[in-house]
Amino acid sequence: MKLLPIVFIGTPEFGVPTLKKLAEHNYKPEVCITQPDKPQGRRQRLTPPAVKIAAKNLDIPVWQPENVNDASIVQKLREINPKVIIVVAYGAFLKKSIRELPDYGCLNLHPSLLPKYRGAAPINYALFNGDNYTGNTVFRLTAKMDAGPILYQNREPIHESENYTQLYERLSLVGAEDVLKTLSLLETDDVVYRKQNESEATYSNKLNKKDMIIAWDNDAHTINNKVRGLATKPGAITYFDNKILKIIQTELSENKSKKEPGTVVEIRKNAGIVVATETNDLLLTEVQPQGKKIMSAYAFTLGSDIKVGDSF
């Protein structure tokens, strides 16, 4: 028996594959709830969330309440009487009146192996820490953040050169399948609810600008992982000539120049900029100058005054 009707709640691109998969597999949501349009870019144009665009293309009604927990929204959900609500990166707290409304509750897709990396930035933190694997967890929402019982978990390797954008996209696609598998288990009554081990819980706090700034006196591996964990957006930040320079891609080097960390050791033709760290040197291969598009680091050297001996 199909778990219908279904409601979908989500906002960014990460939720789009799940929304599409639900519609493709006869789980088309009755309604999609997402965040209001927000101003973006230099001109601050009102921009719809990715999930809203996808829902419109799928002919799914969209609600964009300022407060999802408002009594009027809860009443409208009661009228739909969903069997389950699927939540993917919505960006706001759902109160008990919504969490306990569906027969099977609100099921959340989270891109980590909970209880590891609860919170807003699990993919970033997995890369920052140089983890070899991560995954997705489908769990039932409770009052405590990302702490509800687990219904389904899928472990995925992290490829050596994979960055945030690539891993985000891959986990979003795999996550759509994970949600479908969870619904299948619920339908056949084969799901086992597994309580999370609180003693193993770790957290990934929302990133701020300080988290994005490169400390060149760290070791090369730590800096390389920071770059991976922030590429291609928002990008790891350093400063050159009093301007922001985002470092998009780096390569580890076996050479250790013993120069002051942050010093430009070499401008390598058609390859990039070699920079000293606390340990080995690091080759910058892609950068994004302030106000410009991503380019090769070597191309950046041709249009700037950067030279050996300069410092970031």
Amino acid sitting at position 142 = T
- How much of the chain, in percent, has pLDDT values that exceed 70? 100
Write out pLDDT tens, residues 110-143. Answer: 999 999 999 999 999 999 999 999 999 999 999 9
Q: Do 77 and 116 belong to one domain?
A: yes
* Predicted confidence band of residue 238 (pLDDT cuts 50, 70, 90): very high
Domain that holds residue 127: 6-204
Q: Please give the pLDDT value at position 41.
A: 78
Q: Please give the pLDDT value at position 224.
A: 98
In terms of pLDDT, which residue wins out, 163 or 3? 163
Write out pLDDT tens, residues 175-221. Answer: 999 999 999 999 999 999 999 999 999 999 999 999 999 999 999 99
* Predicted confidence band of residue 42 (pLDDT cuts 50, 70, 90): confident
Average pLDDT over residues 262-287: 97
Q: Is residue 219 within 8 Å of residue 226, measured between CB atoms?
A: no
Q: Answer yes or no: is 46 within a domain.
A: yes
User: In this model, does residue 235 exceed pLDDT 70?
Assistant: yes
* Predicted confidence band of residue 1 (pLDDT cuts 50, 70, 90): low
Residues 218-234 as b/e (b if ≥16 CB within 10 A, e otherwise) read bebebbbbbbbbbbeee
Q: Do 25 and 131 belong to one domain?
A: yes
The sign of the torsion formed by the CA atoms of 40, 233, 215, 241 equals negative
Written in H, E and C, the secondary structure of the chain is CCCCCEEEEECCHHHHHHHHHHHHCCCCCCEEECCCCEEECCCCEEECCHHHHHHHHCCCCEECCCCCCCHHHHHHHHHHCCCEEEEECCCCCCCHHHHCCCCCCEEEEECCCCCCCEECCHHHHHHHCCCCEEEEEEEECCCCCCCCCEEEEEEEECCCCCCHHHHHHHHHHHHHHHHHHHHHHHHCCCCCCECCCHHHCCEECCCCHHHHECCCCCCHHHHHHHHHHHCCCCCEEEEECCEEEEEEEEEECCCCCCCCCCEEEEEECCCEEEECCCCCCEEEEEEEECCCCCEEHHHHHHCCCCCCCCEC
CATH number at residue 53: 3.40.50.170
Q: Please give the pLDDT value at position 61.
A: 98
Quote the CA–CA distance of 48 and 64 in Å, as a whole number.
Answer: 10
* Predicted confidence band of residue 258 (pLDDT cuts 50, 70, 90): confident
Quote the CA–CA distance of 217 and 52 in Å, as a whole number.
Answer: 43
Q: Please give the pLDDT value at position 255.
A: 93
Quote the CA–CA distance of 33 and 31 in Å, as a whole number.
Answer: 7
Quote the CA–CA distance of 262 and 215 in Å, as a whole number.
Answer: 8
Write out pLDDT tens, residues 142-162. Answer: 999 999 999 999 999 999 999
Q: Answer yes or no: is 275 within a domain.
A: yes
Q: Answer yes or no: is 312 within a domain.
A: no
CATH number at residue 250: 3.10.25.10
Average pLDDT over residues 2-21: 96
Average pLDDT over residues 282-286: 98
Q: Which of these three, 204, 239, 270, is where a domain ends?
A: 204
Distances from the Cα of 120 to the Cα of 63, 140, 229, 259, angstroms: 23, 17, 14, 37
Quote the CA–CA distance of 76 and 98 in Å, as a whole number.
Answer: 11
Q: Do 22 and 162 belong to one domain?
A: yes
Q: Please give the pLDDT value at position 170.
A: 98
Q: Which of these three, 204, 231, 263, is where a domain ends?
A: 204
Neighbour count for residue 298 (Cβ, 10 Å):
18
Q: Please give the pLDDT value at position 44.
A: 86
Q: Please give the pLDDT value at position 163.
A: 98
Q: In the chain, how many domains are there? A: 2
Q: Which of these three, 184, 204, 224, is where a domain ends?
A: 204
Q: Assess whether the previous peptide bond of 115 is cis (omega < 30° from 0).
A: yes
Residues 108-121 as b/e (b if ≥16 CB within 10 A, e otherwise) read bbbbbbbbbbbbbb
In terms of pLDDT, which residue wins out, 2 or 229? 229
Q: Answer yes or no: is 1 within a domain.
A: no
- How much of the chain, in percent, has pLDDT values that exceed 90? 96
